Chains A and B, each alone.
Chain A
Amino acid sequence: MNASHFLSRLTDPIAAIGRCGQFLLRMIAGIRPGNRLAISSLQQTYLVGARSLVIIMICGFFVGMVLALQSVNALQSFGAEDQASLLVGKSLFRELGPVLTALLFAGRAGTAVTAEIGLMRATSQIDAMELMAIDPVHRIALPRFLAGLISMPLLAGMFNAMAILGSVVFAIGVIGLDPGIFWGKLQNSITFQEDFLQGVLKSVVFGSLVSLVAVYYGYTSKPTGAGVGTATTNTIVVSSVLVLIFDFILTSFFA
Chain B
Amino acid sequence: MPQNAVELNNLSFSRGSRTILNGINATITEGSVVAIMGPSGAGKTTILRLISGQLRPDGGSIRIFGRDIHQMNRSELFAFRRQIGVLLQNGALFTDLTVFENIATPVREHTGLPEALIRRLVMSKLNAVGLGGTENLMPHELSGGMARRIAFARAVALDPSLMLYDEPLTGLDPIAVSTVSRLIRETNDALGLTSIIVTHNVVQMQKLADYCIIIADREIAGAGHPKDLADSDNPKVRQFMNGEVDGPIPFRYQSEHQWSLTG
Contacts of B92 in A (CB 8 A): 123-125, 127-128
For B89, give the chain A residue with the smallest CB separation: A124
Partner of A131, one of B52, B94, B109: B52
Contacts of A74 in B (CB 8 A): none
Name the segment of A50-58, A132-140, A224-232 touching the other chain: A132-140
A131 and B110 contact, Cβ closer than 8 Å, known pairs A123-B95, A124-B92: no
Q: Does B84 contact A (CB under 8 A)?
A: yes
Q: Does A130 contact B (CB under 8 A)?
A: yes
Contacts of A128 in B (CB 8 A): 86, 88, 92-94
Q: How far is the CB of A135 from chain B (nearest CB, A)?
A: 7
Mask: chain A, 113-127; 1 = CB below 8 Å from B; 0 = not: 000000110011101
Interface size of A by CB at 8 A reads: 14
Contacts of A124 in B (CB 8 A): 88-90, 92
Chain A at the B interface: SS class: helix
Q: Does B82 contact A (CB under 8 A)?
A: yes
A131 and B90 contact, Cβ closer than 8 Å, known pairs A123-B95, A125-B95: no
Docked pose: A120 CA to B88 CA in angstroms: 14
Q: Is the CB of A134 within 8 A of B94?
A: no
A131 and B105 contact, Cβ closer than 8 Å, known pairs A123-B92, A124-B88, A124-B92: no
Q: How far is the CB of B105 from chain A (nearest CB, A)?
A: 7
Contacts of A129 in B (CB 8 A): 94
Mask: chain B, 66-99; 1 = CB below 8 Å from A; 0 = not: 0000000000001101101010111011110000
A131 and B84 contact, Cβ closer than 8 Å, known pairs A123-B90, A124-B90: yes
Partner of B105, one of A120, A127, A134: A134
Contacts of A127 in B (CB 8 A): 54, 88, 92
Contacts of A120 in B (CB 8 A): 94-95
Interface size of B by CB at 8 A reads: 19
Mask: chain B, 40-62; 1 = CB below 8 Å from A; 0 = not: 00000000000010100000000
Q: Is the CB of B81 within 8 A of A133?
A: yes
Q: Is the CB of B52 within 8 A of A132?
A: no
Across chains A and B, the number of contacting residue pairs, with CB separation under 8 Å, is 46
Docked pose: A170 CA to B90 CA in angstroms: 57
Q: How far is the CB of A183 from chain B (nearest CB, A)?
A: 46
A125 and B54 contact, Cβ closer than 8 Å, known pairs A131-B84, A133-B109, A135-B78: no
Q: Does B106 contact A (CB under 8 A)?
A: yes
Docked pose: A131 CA to B105 CA in angstroms: 12
Q: How far is the CB of A124 from chain B (nearest CB, A)?
A: 4
Partner of B86, one of A123, A125, A131, A134: A131
Q: Is the CB of A133 within 8 A of B54?
A: no
Q: Is the CB of A133 within 8 A of B90?
A: no
Contacts of B93 in A (CB 8 A): 125, 128
Contacts of B94 in A (CB 8 A): 120, 125, 128-129
Contacts of A123 in B (CB 8 A): 90, 92, 95
For A116, give the chain B residue with the smallest CB separation: B96
A132 and B109 contact, Cβ closer than 8 Å, known pairs A123-B90, A124-B88, A124-B90: yes
Contacts of A134 in B (CB 8 A): 105-106, 109
Contacts of B52 in A (CB 8 A): 131
Contacts of A133 in B (CB 8 A): 78-79, 81-82, 106, 109-110
Partner of B81, one of A119, A125, A131: A131
Q: Which of A127, A132, A135 has the most chain B CB within a 10 Å cutoff?
A: A132
Contacts of A119 in B (CB 8 A): 95
Docked pose: A234 CA to B159 CA in angstroms: 42
Q: How far is the CB of B122 from chain A (nearest CB, A)?
A: 14
Docked pose: A207 CA to B41 CA in angstroms: 44
Docked pose: A132 CA to B107 CA in angstroms: 10
Docked pose: A129 CA to B95 CA in angstroms: 12
Contacts of B86 in A (CB 8 A): 128, 131
Docked pose: A56 CA to B41 CA in angstroms: 50
Docked pose: A125 CA to B102 CA in angstroms: 11
Contacts of A125 in B (CB 8 A): 92-95
Contacts of B110 in A (CB 8 A): 133
Mask: chain B, 92-124; 1 = CB below 8 Å from A; 0 = not: 111100000000011001100000000000000
Within residues 134 to 155 of chain A, which ones have a CB less than 8 A from any CB in chain B? 134-135
> Can you name 8 A-B residue pairings with CB atoms under 8 Å?
A124-B92, A125-B92, A125-B95, A130-B81, A131-B54, A131-B84, A131-B88, A133-B110
A128-B86, A128-B88, A133-B109 known; 15 new pairs, CB 8 Å cut-off, are A119-B95, A124-B88, A125-B92, A125-B93, A127-B54, A128-B92, A128-B94, A131-B52, A131-B81, A131-B84, A133-B81, A133-B82, A133-B110, A134-B109, A135-B78
Interface set of B (CB-CB < 8 Å, partner A): 52, 54, 78-79, 81-82, 84, 86, 88-90, 92-95, 105-106, 109-110
